[in-house]
Chain A
Amino acid sequence: MSPRAAWRLETLGFTRVYDYVGGKADWFAAGLPREGRLADVPRAGDVARGDDVTCRLTDRLGDVAAKVRAVGKETCVVVTDGGILLGRVRGEALDGDPEAKVEVVMESGPTTIRTNRTLDSIVERLRSRDVDSILVTTSDGKLVGTLYLSDAERRLAETGGDVEEDEASCNCKG
């Protein structure tokens, strides 16, 4: 729709016209500001905790394990220098050869959700899969943080938990 609008504006005499190809779906997925009737519906990015321990592919496993346990965590999220999520190291994998590099033991491509996913849909998904947390990223794959089921349930309870928006029906391609 937007290419037609852009061309229409040109025919009306506008000389600097740009078509934002990704539209609002892209904008929201990046966690950028939104307005409107549904703007206050809680999303993954609103609840995700940004306190994950992160590490790089070339980090030494012994150093990573020490860093993770020093803050009482069980997982290190592997990211690039630019913050792109690559994988994670958790549980017993942290107890491997301390001289090994993270990339050797890393779980690649963990399941993630986007920042703009509504909490009600996330809660349903986590419950059905019997997991208590999930990683949240932007549409560019940048790590935002970890969303915990308990945090999402609490936020939904605070907001009434009667969110009716259906993401699947959102025609966000503007």
Chain B
Amino acid sequence: MVTSIGRDEVQMLLRDEGAQLVEVLPRREYEDEHVKGAINISLKRLDREGAKGLDKGRPVIVY
């Protein structure tokens, strides 16, 4: 079940639970500017292979 969250929850999950932050916009937009600490997996690359580097044991936040 996907949960929609706001900025405060994002900060809490990053701080307290080691959440992984993923920007799903195209690479160009990510390279221009992104949230500090975020990685980039564009929606087009978000398949089993693209998500291989993510840890299923930790929360994942996408934006």
Residues of A bordering B, CB below 8 Å: 1-10, 12-24, 26-28, 30, 32-39, 165, 171-172, 174
CB distance from A118 to the nearest CB of B (A): 11
CB distance from A31 to the nearest CB of B (A): 11
Which residues on the A side are within 8 Å of B16 (C-beta)?
none
- Can you list 27 A-B pairs, Cβ within 8 angstroms, ordered by A? A4-B43, A5-B22, A5-B43, A6-B2, A9-B51, A9-B62, A12-B47, A12-B51, A16-B58, A16-B59, A16-B60, A17-B2, A19-B4, A19-B5, A20-B5, A21-B4, A21-B6, A22-B63, A24-B23, A24-B34, A27-B10, A32-B11, A32-B36, A34-B34, A35-B36, A35-B38, A174-B29
Residues of B bordering A, CB below 8 Å: 1-7, 9-11, 13, 19, 21-25, 29-38, 41, 43, 46-48, 51, 54, 56, 58-63
| Max chain A Cβ within 10 angstroms of own Cβ: one of B3, B5, B24 | B24
Which residues on the A side are within 8 Å of B19 (C-beta)?
18
Complex Cα gap A8–B29 (Å)? 21
Complex Cα gap A16–B19 (Å)? 9
B62 close to A19 (CB less than 8 A): yes
| Nearest CB in chain A to that of B5: its residue | A18
